[in-house]
């Protein structure tokens, strides 16, 4: 997923350098460009990928690209852009506005920059659609979300920079005085007020979100599991299991069910069925005949 994004960025940079006829830069760029794509092609051609893909039903290449744009737009509008992300955008605007005043870069193509960012996030979705036909795995959605936040930050910075440059070109006679004062004094009082309001809003909104759902944030979830003792019970249960697994006991080992399932620690568990893949993998790792979870019966 990330390798495809790097490939897109490298190709885009190469096309840009060719278009601007920067021959010396192209020669220097050819070394990392060739090295990356050699590794990228080896990764694609790795036998393990093809063995794994034989047991999945992915989409075709064109269909994967088409659906990746749909999934990206759907997730951005419905799931990813909550109030914390919108607050992040509000906080970033004055920061990037101030930074843009200290650079000569013109930020001429805001629409193109935002569209390219949208394409990058969509490209993160294409490989799993092509391989398995979905992005249901939480680890995949997490990677895509991280890329979305990164791209969103860069797009906010670019658009804020473009707006700043357009404002600087305005005919208002007070613009020059404002720019000079801003460069001398740093952030204006309005910017400081904006930061203060955002911080207060974040604290208040976080309180309203955490009170009904203590697992709203990762750190509040950790505090909750530590305070109610579920994390400690979970650790003790796994420790008892580990002692049994490492003992000289033979036959099919029976372990007690986990007493708790802490949100940040628990993902899944073995089952009462010794033939399930989780149980087989665990038994093979500890070189046991079999492992099962003891049932009430």
- pLDDT score recorded for residue 7: 92
pLDDT in tens, 100-120: 888 888 899 999 999 999 999
Look over the chain and give the mean of its residue pLDDT values, rounded to a whole number. 87
pLDDT in tens, 135-151: 888 889 999 999 999 99
| Residue, of 24 and 288, whose pLDDT is higher | 288
pTM: 0.76
Per-residue 3-state assignment (H helix, E strand, C coil) for the chain: CHHHHHHHHHHHHHHHHHHCCCHHHHHHHHHHHHHHHHHHHHHHHCHHHHHHHCCCCCCCHHHHHHHHHHHHHHHHHHHHCCHHHHHHHHHHHHHHHHHHCCCCCCCCCHHHHHHHHHHHHHHHHHHHHHHHCCCCCHHHHHHHHHHHHHHHHHHHHHHHHHHHHHHHCCCCCHHHHHHHHHHHHCCCHHHHHHHHHHHHHHHHHHHHHHCCCCCCCHHHHHHHHHHCCHHHHHHHHHHHHHHHHCCCCCCEEEECCCCCCCCCCCCCCCCCCCCCHHHHHHHHHHCCCEEEECCCC
């Amino acid at each position: 997923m990330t390798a495809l994004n790097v490939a897109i960025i490298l190709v885009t940079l190469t096309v840009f350098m060719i278009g601007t006829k920067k021959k010396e830069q192209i020669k220097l760029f050819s070394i990392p460009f060739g090295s990356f794509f050699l590794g990228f092609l080896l990764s694609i051609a790795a036998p393990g990928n093809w063995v794994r893909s034989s047991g999945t039903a992915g989409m075709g290449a064109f269909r994967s690209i088409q659906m990746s744009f749909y999934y990206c737009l759907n997730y951005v509008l419905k799931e990813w852009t909550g109030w914390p992300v919108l607050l992040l955008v509000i906080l970033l605007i004055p920061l990037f506005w101030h930074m843009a005043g200290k650079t000569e870069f013109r930020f001429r193509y805001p629409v193109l920059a935002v569209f390219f960012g949208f394409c990058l996030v969509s490209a993160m979705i294409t490989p799993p659609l092509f391989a398995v036909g979905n992005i249901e795995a939480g680890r995949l959605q997490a990677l895509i979300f991280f890329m979305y936040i990164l791209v969103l930050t860069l797009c906010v910075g670019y658009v804020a920079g473009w707006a700043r440059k357009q404002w600087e070109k305005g005919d208002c006679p007070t613009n020059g005085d404002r720019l000079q004062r801003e460069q001398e004094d740093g952030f204006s009082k309005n910017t400081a007020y904006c930061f203060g309001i955002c911080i207060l809003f974040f604290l208040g909104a976080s309180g309203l979100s955490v009170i009904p759902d203590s697992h709203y944030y990762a750190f509040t979830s950790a505090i909750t599991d530590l305070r109610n003792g579920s994390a400690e019970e979970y650790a003790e249960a796994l420790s008892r299991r580990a002692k049994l697994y490492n003992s000289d006991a033979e036959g099919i080992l029976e372990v007690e069910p986990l007493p708790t399932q802490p949100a940040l620690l628990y993902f899944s568990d073995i089952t009462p069925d010794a033939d399930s893949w989780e149980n087989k993998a665990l038994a093979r790792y500890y070189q046991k005949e079999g492992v099962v979870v003891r049932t009430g019966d």
